[in-house]
Structure 1
């Protein structure tokens, strides 16, 4: 017998893994309660102690009693013969109570719960036929659950024709309840229309195919790389570089750009898009529609522009690209990143039903006109990356290979960086220049402690606003208090907690033995900096500093 079962992924794929763990009763009930009460809907328990549970809900403008049996779904009992099956079993007498609820004007449900990678999916069966004795087994399909993870809502019909099961995220519970009669009887191929997304159905509307041709090769010319990652140490001006290049790319055009910042919880549904509940204009009613992510928004603008005789550039800027799990975020879009010599995706992918309908809505025509998609040559994807940051995720070689990497050196573009300030008091007072001090600290980190270059500080580690000088002729920093505060809160903090964390006692050795200062506390190092300035870095540091000015 197989020791592994199929599991659902957030991007709609499935994979084999160890058998799932059954959720605790309170976990199951919490998920169900959150689903029924989503968006402020009324939900009051009648029986929470034992199965079947009962509660009062308000749906379709009336109070209803909902009776339900809930259990974590598990891989079916036939992993070798029907490997994608998921199921739950309930006693026959409990099934009959649910049937009674459905035939008496209330709602009776068998609810399965599937949870993986922080996402909960509810699988719902609406029983209408009683059974005498024994246990009742209800089946679902793991691919349907994966589709629900990716898109929000999915259906599955038993091969025997004996009913339809629905799977959905918690926020789709009200959508399911409002349309339960339809969803329980048949697969709804265009179910988005039910909630007013205004997606037309084939056979009811004549499409104008003359206006919906996608042009991936627009002929747009540019010296900039289409897929581009700028990387380097913190403060080297990665974001600034892309902003300046963005201005050059857009100069004299009607192009657009959008910026997004990745983070550890960022997912495919954020990046490309997914179905979400939204409120109807001017009402409290909820409808569900495909909400595009930044990739899809820029993609649509690029396709629209490609239809004109004068195509324009459209740019997606991604900050901190490796703070998210990029393979999962990009999903099938990953395949589109291979570009030919003209800048068009070498390979196409099949668009999901949701994406096809969204493209048809935005660009016109039939959803089937958008079955296969590529990235056009007028769409650019640029990103920044710092591999030394805490909390970043590694990129695999296959993903890296599809990008043009550009490295910004530790002292690149530092010629215009000026700014002098007096630090320390009494015998420790010294007028220093920020850029020279930065280089001296980097020198000490690299030479004495072998800290890698990507952990050092670039010339823009402190912003231009903080090192603004009085005038062209006078290099004195305008606001010394702000500079000192920023030096303590940004530079010393970064060194103490990150770049030199293992060597902080040695790096800040100058604090020891002066008054009651020590390297044991960050606050003590900051207090010492107020008193002794750059001498917190110990004996010999002034020589390193002077050397940088030669």
Structure 2
């Protein structure tokens, strides 16, 4: 009898999956090392033909904050332990220790490290990496086996990361490829077993567990402003190269979508249920797993959903203390969420609170139609960051304006936006957060055509001027519907009012930038 893991993290009877060849192992390694903004150069050391199961790669990998040279030993699919233990898998080291002694003795906390890995590969996308502590196999015999429980592999499929202990009490780490960055940066303590020397080999001192210093400064920030001011771009610059979970709020968003919930999945011919983490659960797990790194949860279009209802009981977590940690904690919304998080972190988590290394960043435009109002109690728990209209940051490009006499005047996009905004402010008292931001159109929009983009016109006609003021911007004697505007633009005919065209005829405004 053999036991295997499914991609859903269930342990079932079955035969071992097919072994990935050397090329496939290299592809998986490269995919894992280039996740989360890492870069990697990988070099393969071709072994003699009889030893192709013991493949070594050297990888030079860089993160935003560190560089590593990794000596990586990769085994194919883990086979049964052959010791009448159907729940146990193994890899087998079949080289003399002297061949790789220098690598196995590398410091786990240095920039030059050794990784001892086994791949459990169901298909191209469903892979779990098992990692042993190479230092625990110093001076090994030839051959020597290293073991892992199939339940830990199943846990990694289901939750992303899991650990098990072998017969000598040593931790084996199991994780999906995208968690390799986490393993490398924390391997100095992930293999450490608390307590007396259960994890040490004869003659080896019991290592001391390393607890990373918790990063502080986390906060909640809302970026708001007119459409096209670059709110998302501002957020992108903040999270560049850092761990980030991103979501977009929408009118049907619910608390269970945001946090996570039990969802049905098909397992062979039956329906089962498992916890599917939402963006909040994923961001919280990442932050708790790596307390010494900045982690971000980005919420685009915060006010397109009833934000307070989507947060639910988590609303209380938004109050932070002086170092950025949540002042309060709350019960887990569901026991399934608690079980998932505790298993993912390999420790019991009793209450939910915001760690000091988790930033919540949100974007919104309060002037958009069809948005939900955000009440004061919710909004005051966020720092408000207004993103102003900066015409100097506008993309390059020009638009053709048809004047009253039928002539064409070409104006730069930033001049068009400023002239239009000044006119809307002076004639209609339009609020600043409803004006045209410099990135309302993109450089691609401007390169595609010199006609006034339809998305600018529909925003003016329907969003800003639906109820009054169309005559201040458009020539309503010639256009009564947006369809007529679109047709006249395509035919290079006038669409704007005399008052607006008078401002364009003066060329670039003196105050334009």
- Sort the TM-score into its range (normalised by shorter chain): 0.5 to 0.7
Query: Structure 1 residues 217, 355: closer, same or farther in 2, change over 3 A?
Result: farther
1:273–1:217 Cα change, 3 Å: farther
Find the partner of 1:424 among 402, 415, 420. 402
TM-score by length of 2: 0.55
| TM-score of the two chains, using structure 1 as the length reference | 0.52
1:520-544 residue CA offsets vs partner (Å, 9 max, x unmatched): 21111122234456x5221132332
1:492 matched to 2:457:
yes
Task: Quote how far apart the aligned CAs of 1:279 are.
Answer: 2.0
Question: Which residue number in structure 1 is paired with residue 150 of structure 2?
Answer: none
SS of residue paired to 1:382: strand
Return the alpha-carbon distance in structure 1 between the equivalents of residues 391 and 214 of structure 2.
34
Return the match for 2:227 from 214, 234, 238: 234
Contact persistence 1:217–1:376 (CA under 8 A): no
| Residue 355 of structure 2 corresponds to residue 376 of structure 1 | yes
Structure 1 residue 453: Cα displacement: 1.5
> Is the 1:508–1:525 Cα contact (8 Å) retained in structure 2?
no
Aligned counterpart in structure 2 of residue 364 of structure 1, from 346, 350, 359? 346
**What corresponds to 2:214 in structure 1?**
219
1:537 corresponding residue in structure 2: 496
Within 2, Cα distance between the matches of 1:440 and 1:413?
11
The Cα offsets for residues 451-473 of structure 1, whole Å up to 9 and x where unpaired, read as: 21121110000012223xxxxxx
Deviation at 1:322, TM superposition (A): 0.6
Q: C-alpha distance in 2, partners of 1:397/1:450?
A: 25
> Which shifted more, 536-545 or 452-461?
536-545
Return the match for 1:438 from 417, 421, 429: 417
Which runs of no fewer than 5 residues in structure 2 stay unpaired?
A: 1-157, 160-168, 172-191, 195-209
**Residues 218 and 378 in structure 1, CA contact (< 8 A), matched pair in contact too:** no
Q: 1:264 corresponds to which residue?
A: 251
Q: Distance in 1 between matches of 2:390 and 2:474?
A: 30
> Residue 291 of structure 1 aligns to a residue in which SS?
strand
Q: Which residue of 2 aligns with 1:337?
A: 318
CA distance 1:391–1:427, shift in 2 (3 Å): closer
Match of 1:388 in 2: 367
Measure, in 1, the Cα distance between the counterparts of 2:282 and 2:443: 33
1:210-253, CA deviations, whole angstroms, 9 ceiling, x for partnerless residues?
77xxx99953155xx62110000111111111111211xx4xxx
- Separation in structure 2 between the aligned mates of residue 417 and residue 549 of structure 1, nearest angstrom: 18
Q: Is contact 1:220-1:377 (8 Å) kept? A: yes
The whole-number CA distance in structure 2 between the counterparts of 1:412 and 1:263 is 28
Aligned 8 A contact 1:216 1:374 in 2 = no
What does 1:315-354 correspond to in 2, within 5 Å? 315-351=296-332, 352-354=334-336
- Provide closer, same or farther for how the CA distance between residues 542 and 509 of structure 1 changes in structure 2, counting only shifts above 3 A: closer
Cα drift, residue 277 of structure 1: 0.7
Change (3 A) 1:217 1:406: farther
Q: How many residues align?
A: 307
Offset of residue 433 of structure 1: 1.2
Mark the CA change 1:364 to 1:221 in structure 2 (over 3 Å): closer, same or farther: closer
Corresponding residue of 1:479:
448
Deviations 1:431-458 (A, max 9, x none): 1111111111112211111221121110
Distance 1:416 1:232, change over 3 A: closer
Please give the alpha-carbon distance, in whole angstroms, between the structure 1 residues aligned to 2:370 and 2:232.
19
For residues 499 and 416 of structure 1, what CA distance do their matches in structure 2 show? 21
User: In structure 1, how many angstroms separate the alpha carbons of the residues matched to 2:448 and 2:302?
Assistant: 34
Distance 1:210 1:360 in 2: 18
Question: 5+ residue gaps in structure 1?
Answer: 1-196, 199-205, 468-477
> What per-residue deviation string (whole Å, max 9, x for no partner) do you get for residues 89-144 of structure 1?
xxxxxxxxxxxxxxxxxxxxxxxxxxxxxxxxxxxxxxxxxxxxxxxxxxxxxxxx
Q: Is the 8 A contact 1:216 1:376 kept in 2?
A: no
Task: Provide the alpha-carbon RMSD of the alignment.
Answer: 2.9
Q: How far 1:339 moved relative to its partner?
A: 0.9
* Counterpart-to-counterpart distance in 2, 1:403 and 1:210: 40
C-alpha distance after superposition, 1:291-325 (max 9, x if no partner):
1100001110111112xxxx111111101001111
Q: Deviation at 1:266?
A: 0.1
- Give yes or no for contact 1:257–1:315 (8 Å, CA) kept in 2: yes
Question: Which of 265, 277, 284 is matched with 1:299 structurally?
Answer: 284
Instruction: Give yes or no for the alignment of 1:461 onto 2:426.
Output: no
Tell me if structure 1 keeps the 8 A contact 2:472–2:500.
Answer: no
CA contact (8 A) 1:424 1:530 kept: no
Distance 2:491 2:211 in 1: 63
CA contact (8 A) 1:315 1:382 kept: yes
